[in-house]
Every structure is written in structure tokens, then in C-alpha cells.
Amino acid sequence: MRSKNLLALSCCVVLALGAAACGSDDSNPSSGGSAQKKGSDPVHVPTVLGAVTVSYNVDGIDQGLKLDGKTVADIFLGKVKKWNDPAIAGQNSGTQLPSTSITVCHRSDESGTTANFTSFLTDYSSAWKSGPGTDKSVKWPTGTGAKGNDGVAGCVKQTKGAVGYVEQAYALQNKFTTAAVKNKSGKYVEPSLQATSASARGITPPDDLRFSTINAESPEAYPISAITFLLVWQDACKAGQNATTAKLVKNWLNYALGAGQQVAPQLQYAPLPDNVKTKAQAKVDGLQCNGAAISGAS
């Protein structure tokens, strides 16, 4: 389901291959990675927001178990081993926590989901920062590896006491039990679409639109949120595309930032707040073909 959703949202394949007109990326673009330049500069266009949930399978614990960043990091470091550990119990007064052992489920493949999740952990744990660190794939200190969101989801569903990180759209579609994670303002927030959009509200994006919403400042923000960017050529024709392709890409981007914003929640993705959408549309309006505005695009 997730791959179908992303196909509907991102329209094409990897830009860096040269044969493609655009591509997508949901990992943090401010960390230095970008597409390879080929005759034209690549441009990051924000489209929608998603999030990474902390999903769990523990008898007797309902939706919204409270967890802060340090505790999540310690769980995935293997330091917090039981669900009734004081680090968890201290944040969940009045909840009867079982002594069940924690089983960590994590991705075995490279993914933007892993990059975003580990970026969050790095912000709250010096041990994580100096150990596994932040990347699309890391050396996990503990747990069971599984491929894709569906693999991690299966690991969590089939294992009592399990916890894993699962992309928001997948978690919402499959009605997973997810934690309320403490944000930068000290508020525990569940991973709703509204809280995901809030992570980009109030941000002033830089001119190149490459920015992260991990641990956003907004009190209403879910803290493990990220924007899905489309990567396109500033001048598609100088990058080897023809005028027709350049027009189609621009038309698609106009749709994504217009009517597509209303479709996004149906696919369990959060729409852009106006402060980001306005800058994204300006970037699309400036796309060119051989140094001229792309004519005929709607």
C-alpha cells in the first residue's frame, strides 16, 4: 500500500540516473545529500509530510503510551529491557505496565524512515549519537531486523512485547498501537496527520527549501515528522529532458501543491501548511526549459 501511495504522490523514478525527470526523497535533505547535478541544478520541492511512529504490541497498554526521546533511544540501545522499567513507568503514572521483556524490531534495509528515526534518537541521546548515529542504515545494538515497513510491522504484530518504528501512513492504515512521543516543547503528542502538519507550521524555509522538521519547535508538533520532497531539475531541458516532459513535470507539481493537498490525507499523508506551500509553489513557478519559462503549464 505504501509503495502505491508514493507512486501516486511522486510520479517518477530516481533523478540521479539522468534518464528521469524527477524523483522523491523522505529523508532529511539538510544533512547534505542531494541528487547529482547533470546540466542543471536539482531542486527540492516539498509536497507532503509524513512521520515515523513508535509502534508497540503490549497486552493491556492502549494507544498513546508516553515516551520521551531519551527513553526511545535507550530502548533501541538495549538499555531499557522491560516494559515496566522505571524510565517508562515514570512517564505513565496510573498505567499498569507488565514486566514483559521488550523485543526491538528494526529495518534491515536502507530507508528514509530509518534516517529520520535515527536523527530523532541522535538529538536526545549522546550514546546513540556516538554509537549507531544517523543514517539510512545503521548497526543496531539489539533487536530483530526486517525488510520494509511491512517487515517491521509483521515483527511487531507477531511478537508480544515488541516495539518498532513504522512509517505513519502504514501505521494508520493498519490501525497500529502507537506511542505519544514527547516533543521539543515538552508535550506528549500522538502521530496524527494534524500534529504532523504542525511540525512545519511557523518554519521559515531557506531559499533552497532543504530543511528538516525533526524535533520542530511548535508545541502541537509530533516530533518525528518529515517532508517528502520531489527532486526535479531547475532547467529540465538543459538536463536532457524535452519540452513536453518539462511541461508534464511542472503540471504534476502544480497539481501536487494544489488539488493534491486535499487528496494527501486520504493516503494518510499530511498536507503542507501555507508557509511552506507558498514557497514550494514559487519554486515550481520558476522552473525552466532552456532558460525560458515552461510554456503551457497549468
Give yes or no for a contact between 54 and 165, defined as CB atoms under 8 angstroms apart.
Answer: yes
Q: What is the mean pLDDT of the chain?
A: 89
Query: Residue with C-alpha cell 508535550?
Result: 187
Span 68-86, pLDDT tens digits:
999 999 999 999 999 999 9
Q: Look up residue 17 and give its three cell numbers.
A: 540516473
Q: Quote the pTM value.
A: 0.87
Share of the chain above pLDDT 90, in %: 83
Span 17-31, pLDDT tens digits:
244 555 555 655 655
Angstrom CA distances, 1 to 4, 150, 285, stand at 5, 9, 31
Q: What is the mean pLDDT of residues 160-181?
A: 95
Span 199-227, pLDDT tens digits:
999 899 999 999 999 999 999 999 999 99
How confident is the model at residue 7, as a pLDDT? 36
How confident is the model at residue 28, as a pLDDT? 59
Give yes or no for a contact between 26 and 227, defined as CB atoms under 8 angstroms apart.
Answer: yes
Report the alpha-carbon distance of residue 253 to residue 241 in Å, rounded: 16
Quick one: which H or E segment has residue 25?
A: strand 22-25
Q: Look up residue 105 and give its three cell numbers.
A: 524490531
Span 233-266, pLDDT tens digits:
999 999 999 999 999 999 999 999 999 999 999 9
Give yes or no for a contact between 176 and 61, defined as CB atoms under 8 angstroms apart.
Answer: no
